[in-house]
Amino acid sequence: MTRILLVRGMLAGLVAGLFVFALARWIGEPQVERAIAFETVMDHARGEAPEAEVVSRKVQGTLGLLTATVLDGTAVGGIFALAFTFAMGRLPVQSPRNLAALLAALGFVAIAIVPALKYPANPPSVGNPDTIGIRTAAYFLLLAFSCALTALSVQVAMRFHRRLGAWNASLLSIGFFVVAATVTCHYFPDFDEVPAGFPVTLMWKFRVASLAMQALLWSVLGVVFGWFVEKVVARRSTHG
Amino acid sequence: MAQRSAAVLTPQPIAIPVIPVREILPWALFGGLLMLLALYFVGAEQGATALLHGRAVHEFVHDGRHLLGFPCH
């Protein structure tokens, strides 16, 4: 059962990754191109030679992007399937499709929204290469905190489910999560490394594109996975 | 008659299966590690840390890494 769900999660993630690739081609790549053009102009102004190309821009924007989005989707789908397998029957949601949708919503908030609010996606030419170590560590540590807080919030909802009812227990749990995530983010380091003169509208469009990709990834994953596993789970369910 | 059809139409409560943790754990370990490794190569290899020499992996997934929100440079 676990193996079947894992494989279907990876397949659903692969499908989601293809959707994300299409969206990235459409609204993401133009922003990456503009940011690289800005970087080239800045390098020229400083009299620096542009970095030697290891992989051509064409490959980066097509095959490279496809590999990244599909691999990311498949891996997220696999982890999602493991979380779903564990949550099945342990959360008070009976329909597999509802459970998949709920977990996808939780994953979107925990893995995409919270880290992006503190450390939003940066286009090329933003970010100091000297701080990549601490920025990477802070990003993944915040990701871990966010996932742990989400799991804890679900526990809070479960604990008060019977006493307060579903609505109030959910509100309490969401309130707990928002406060805890805000406090956690407050104590994480800030990085302000946007170069002077970087176009504000380009930054906005790039970050909206990045968030839209995450929204698409998690919604397609949640819907497609629920659809893929509905029958498998129903066959194993016991009536009565 | 009416009662019987009502009983047929009323959905029976369904208990979806609970899979014991010891059954999930091996898959979570191997599958989970494999997934995390894939995410590492997309999101972080040849950035802050490097398992392979050079910049080829970083440059290949460059656009995806930026757009997926991972710290890149």
A186 — phi, psi (to 5°)?
Answer: -60, -35
Tell me whether residue B31 is in a domain.
no
**Number of separate domains in chain B:** 1
pLDDT-derived band at B13 (thresholds 50, 70, 90) equals: low
- What's the whole-number mean pLDDT along residues A215-240? 90
Residues 6+ apart with CB under 8 A from A187: none
- What's the whole-number mean pLDDT along residues B12-32? 87
> CA nearest B40 in A: which residue?
A72
Q: What is the dihedral of CA B32, B47, A149, A113, to 10 degrees?
A: -110
Chain B positions in Cβ-Cβ contact with residue A144 (cut-off 8 Å): none
What ipTM does this complex have? 0.93
Full domain range(s) for residue B65? 42-73
Residue B55 has pLDDT above 60, yes or no: yes
Query: What angle is formed at CA A64 by the lines to CA B42 and CA A193, rounded to 5 degrees?
Result: 60
Of A72, A76, A140, the CB nearest to B64: A72
pLDDT at A239: 59
Q: How confident is the model over A77-119, as pLDDT tens digits?
A: 999 999 999 999 999 898 999 999 999 999 999 999 999 999 9
Distance CA A153, CA A160 (A): 11
pLDDT at A240: 43
What mean pLDDT value characterizes chain B? Answer: 85
Residue B52 has pLDDT above 80, yes or no: yes
User: Domain boundaries in chain A?
Assistant: 2-126+196-236, 127-193
Residues 6+ apart with CB under 8 A from B15: A89, A237, A238, A239, A240
Instruction: Give the gap in angstroms from C-alpha A70 to the nearest C-alpha of chain B.
Output: 10
Tell me whether residue B35 is in a domain.
no
Tell me whether residue B51 is in a domain.
yes
Residue B63 has pLDDT above 80, yes or no: yes
Q: Do B16 and A96 touch (CB under 8 A)?
A: yes
* Residue that wins the pLDDT comparison between A162 and B15: A162
Instruction: Give the gap in angstroms from C-alpha B20 to the nearest C-alpha of chain A.
Output: 8
Q: Do A238 and B48 touch (CB under 8 A)?
A: no
pTM of the model: 0.92
pLDDT at B11: 55
Q: Comparing C-alpha atoms, which of A87, A85, A60, A72 is closest to residue A5?
A: A85
